[in-house]
Amino acid sequence: MNRNYFKLIVIICASQMIRLGIATAEPMPASLVVTPKTVAVDTFFSGGKLSVSGDIPSADDVIIEVTGKDSKNLFDLKGKMGPFWMTRGKVHIDNVPGLYILLLPEGRDWGKKIKALGIGFSRLKSRMTTSGPQDIPPEIFKMFIKLKKFQSLYGELKDAVTYAPGSNDKKHFTAVLNLPSSIAQGDYTVRATTIANNDVGAVTTREFSVEEVGFIKFVNHMASDRRVLYGVSAVIIALLAGLIMGVVFKQSGGSH
């Protein structure tokens, strides 16, 4: 009886040690702080700053993705018909985010590595769906990315994540992103992926939002929810502006 009891204790202890070993071998998620929680868009908004920081094991790296909600996109497909360039149809591009910024860490060239890890634009391409004319050009994804980069809504920023020494065998990472003025209001996700032993490790996510405030919020609310009142107000403002300009020019002309 005592011998069986001893065996049971040994088995329980061994299983706990194995489970503990497996747990410590799992990649540790990054602590992640995103500020501000809300980006305010007012009348004079020209872009905002987003700060991302946290701690990871000292031997790991971290790649940060800032992503918006999936959006539907409709584009004119141009083509040459004879000597003229003409619109040949509409192309729908779906299942791609409205905003996608990739922040890469300092210290190494991540170009080929992120593709092998399945991170970055290659992931977007695997999700993207298209519909429209049968002869959609095979380079449509490159064209789409080029347009989004021109609008500052897509980007791949090298050496954007910097490191500093931390404590308890960890290091501190920091990244600052300049959000474009064309960013739409809504909810966005910050995704931090740790890279441990040259492979994808744990993933940590946080949310932030972009919201209109002040006069621009009032105007957009009027335009979308109270269209009749907005239209009447716009006409009255235009008439008043015309009357004021007429009086000013009349007085200016009478002074000569």
Domain for residue 185, yes or no? yes
Could you list the residue range(s) of the whole structural domain that residue 200 is in?
29-212
Q: How many domains does the chain have?
A: 2
Residues 133 and 194 in one domain: yes
Within 10 angstroms of residue 142's Cβ, the number of other Cβ atoms is 12
Count Cβ neighbours within 10 Å for each residue of 233-249 and write b for 16 or more, e otherwise. Answer: eeeeeeeeeeeeeeeee
Q: Say how far apart CA 119 and CA 173 lie, in whole Å.
A: 19
Residues 164 and 190 in one domain: yes
Residues 146 and 46 in one domain: yes
pLDDT of residue 111: 83
Domain for residue 70, yes or no? yes
**pLDDT reading at 14 higher than 70:** no
CATH number of the domain residue 72 falls in: 2.60.40.1930
Average pLDDT over residues 55-80: 89
Domain for residue 84, yes or no? yes
Locate 15 and state its tokens: 């299983």
Q: Is 94 left (phi over 0), alpha (psi -120 to 50) or beta?
A: beta
Phi/psi at 8 (nearest 5 deg)?
Answer: -65, -40
Phi/psi at 166 (nearest 5 deg)?
Answer: -120, -155
pLDDT in tens, 151-183: 999 999 999 999 999 888 899 999 999 999 999
**246 confidence band (pLDDT: 50, 70, 90):** low
Domain for residue 134, yes or no? yes
Domain for residue 39, yes or no? yes
Model pTM above 0.85:
no
Residues 244 and 201 in one domain: no
Residues 174 and 248 in one domain: no
Cβ-based neighbours of 206, under 8 Å, separated by 6 or more: 32, 33, 34, 189, 190
Domain for residue 151, yes or no? yes
Residues 205 and 246 in one domain: no
Residues 208 and 230 in one domain: no
